[in-house]
Amino acid sequence: MRPTHATPVRTSLRILLAACLCILTLLLPYRARVAFAMGTAWLVHLPYVLFGKLADAILKKSEQSHE
Amino acid sequence: MNKKCALLFSGGTDSTCAAAVLAKEDFREIHLLTFFEEGTKGSPMPLGNAEKLRAHFPHTTWHHRAISTDKIVRHLAYENYFRNLLSHGTFLLAMPGFSTLSWHIAAIAYCKKEGITVVGDGLTRELMHFPGHMDAVIRVFSGLYEAFGIRYVQPVRDWEVPPDRQFLDRLLIDHHLSADTPPTARTTGNYLYRLGIFSEPNVKGTATDRRMQHDCYPFVLFNIFVFWLWLPLLGYKRYERGIVSLFERKTNLALVLLKNHFAAPDNSKLNSILKC
């Protein structure tokens, strides 16, 4: 398991947020729980995907300008 | 003798490699079982790698089956919900584990029907926080298979795993980064690369990987519970104990469902759950 280097404040905030998500998820029926899990995954990945696409475009431009 | 086996097949690197290893071990008939459910409905069926295996091992008979386990997952997650919530607390949110157990239940039902006595899995030692990847839970699942005269094998379990890549690297790696797995390492990707089945030694996490593989249950939310809640509060040992205890109980439930199913297939509860 990879070690984490979170500060106590950050850890507490994470626990609080995860606990809220946890309680909400426990209350959901099956289909809503799956939809919530998929929605959360989409939201978490969104900034990375957008940044990745931007970086990809910049790298492609830079490769073209070197050719 | 016609040696045959079934393999839990997502079409990713590890399960494709496990299929290749089993084909090399003289299994002449291999049934690739791909399971799908509500959480994976947008994910592609792994037809490409099944075709590559067929082409590479023409003397092996390959069958590829897609089986829905949606109702089994729901049943495992919600039966006796409040009583289980009191006993196991928030671990009841270990949905990827229910998903894995549902594959095993469906695999046992399939194998009994087809007269198969060996079931393979492409598990390695990655993602060890997943219930289905923990040694103790694997022993529990092996016991379930043994109860029905089936041997559960993981031919690539102790192979090396490639260096982890950060998510951003994965987004860029197809076009701009070269493979970073040493060519001599005994990884599943290298094995398939050397056989000529894969064009690169490590495609894990790339867009190619996402296209060729059927997803497992969307696990970001589960990872949040593990890394932000359970591990900081409990530590790994207590987390593992809690998960094992939950899956011992759910596997006992699976045992009863399967026994009733084989005793009276037409009227069993599992029969109605399997009919999806």
Q: Residue B213: what pLDDT?
A: 79
Is A53 an interface residue toward B (CB < 8 Å)? Answer: yes
A10 touches chain B (CB under 8 A): no
Average pLDDT, chain B: 88
Residue B276 pLDDT: 46
Per the CB < 8 A criterion, the answer to whether B81 and B92 are in contact is yes
- Phi-psi sector, A22: left (phi>0), alpha (psi -120 to 50), beta: alpha
Rounded CA gap, B175 and B161, in Å? 22
Which pair of structure tokens corresponds to residue B43?
């994910």
Dump pLDDT digits (tens) for A12-42: 999 999 999 999 999 999 999 999 999 999 9
pLDDT at B116: 97
Angstrom distance (rounded) from CA B161 to CA B125 = 7
8 Å CB contact of A19 and B232: no
Predicted confidence (pLDDT) at residue B178 exceeds the cutoff of 50: no
Tell which of A11, A25, A66 to mutate to test the B interface (max B CBs under 10 Å). Answer: A25
User: Tokens standing for B252?
Assistant: 């006992």
Which candidate from A1, A29, A37 shows the least CB-CB separation from B39?
Answer: A37
User: Is pLDDT above 60 for B239?
Assistant: yes
Q: Where are the domains of chain B?
A: 4-270
Please tell me the predicted confidence (pLDDT) of residue B1.
Answer: 54
Burial B10-37 (b: 16+ CB within 10 A, else e): bbbbbbbbbbbbbbeeebeebbbbbbbb
CB B43 within 8 A of CB B215: yes
For residues B127-139, give the mean pLDDT: 95
Looking up tokens 């939310």 gives B221
Strands B151-153 vs B29-36: parallel, antiparallel or unpaired: unpaired
pLDDT at residue B171 in the model = 52
CB B195 within 8 A of CB B23: no
Q: What pLDDT, in 10s, does the model give residues B41-74?
A: 888 888 989 999 999 999 999 999 999 999 999 9
Supply the pLDDT for residue B50. 94
Q: What is the pLDDT of residues B79-125, one digit of tens each?
A: 999 999 999 999 999 999 999 999 999 999 999 999 999 999 999 99
Count of other CB atoms within 10 angstroms of residue A49: 14
Paired tokens of B12? 């990713």
Residue B233 has pLDDT above 50, yes or no: yes
Range of weakest confidence among B8-12, B33-37, B86-90, B264-268: B264-268
> What pLDDT, on the 0 to 100 scale, is given for residue B181?
56
By the 10 Å C-beta count (0-12 exposed, 13-18 middle, 19+ buried), A64 is classed as: exposed
| Closest residue of chain A to B127, computed from CA coordinates | A1
pLDDT at site A30? 96
Task: Output the pLDDT for position A43.
Answer: 93
How far apart are alpha carbons B87 and B249 in whole angstroms? 10
pLDDT at B166: 53
CA distance B157 to B64: 23
Helix (H) or strand (E) holding B53: helix B47-56
Interface test with B, best of A33, A44, A50, A63 (most B CBs within 10 A): A33
Q: Tell me: the pLDDT tens digits for B201-220?
A: 777 767 677 778 777 778 89
Half-sphere exposure of A36 (CA within 13 A, CB side): 17
- Give the separation between CA B99 and CA B141, rounded to whole angstroms: 13
Under the phi-then-psi rule, with left for phi > 0, alpha for psi from -120 to 50, and beta for the rest, what region is B204?
beta
Residue B167 has pLDDT above 70, yes or no: no
Q: Average pLDDT in the B11-26 region?
A: 93
B176 pLDDT above the threshold of 80: no
Distance separating alpha carbons of residues B268 and B276, to the nearest angstrom: 14
Sort out which chain B residues have CB atoms less than 8 A from A19's CB and list them: 229
Enumerate the residues of chain B whose CB falls inside 8 A of the CB of residue A11: 232
B19 — pLDDT class (breaks 50, 70, 90): very high
Helix H or strand E encompassing A14: helix A8-27
CA B102/CA B37 separation, integer angstroms: 10
3-state secondary structure of B36: strand
Whether A2 shows a pLDDT value over 70: the answer reads: no
Residue A45 clears pLDDT 50, i.e. is over it:
yes
Average pLDDT for residues B188-206, to the nearest whole number?
83
Establish if B219 touches chain A: CB-CB under 8 angstroms.
Answer: yes
Q: How is residue A21 written in tokens?
A: 């998500």
Confidence of residue B184 (pLDDT cuts 50, 70, 90): low
Q: How far is A39 from chain B (nearest CA, A)?
A: 9
- With contact defined as beta carbons under 8 Å apart, do B233 and A15 qualify? yes
What homologous superfamily does CATH list for B4-270? HUPs (3.40.50.620)
Q: Which residues of A touch B96 (CB under 8 A)?
A: none
